[in-house]
Amino acid sequence: MNADPGSWIEPPAIHRLSYITAPTLIIVGDNDVPDLLAMADMFAQHIPFARKVVVAGAGHMVNMEAPDQVNEAILDFLRAL
């Protein structure tokens, strides 16, 4: 990473979420840390047509804690495309 702020991409990525055109699935566990839950909400709000799935009882490693629910969410998402 280049430490020179002048070389950073403008506008920052957070301001370019609306440019994403790829189908986007956001999966988060409801026991994840508040900052990551907020980021998932922000991604879902700003990425056009994004779909967010919240897995009950899972934390940050949602795919390892609830693999069946994650797999089903992914398959449902792909089937809908």
So what's the pLDDT on residue 6?
61
To the nearest 10°, the Cα dihedral for 42, 45, 48, 51? Answer: 90
Structural domain boundaries in the chain: 10-80
46 exposed, middle or buried (CB, 10 Å; 0-12, 13-18, 19+)?
Answer: middle
- pTM for the model stands at 0.84
In this predicted model, what pLDDT tens digit does every residue of 57-81 receive, in sequence order?
999 999 999 999 999 999 999 999 9
In this predicted model, what pLDDT tens digit does every residue of 6-17 receive, in sequence order?
667 888 888 999
So what's the pLDDT on residue 13?
86
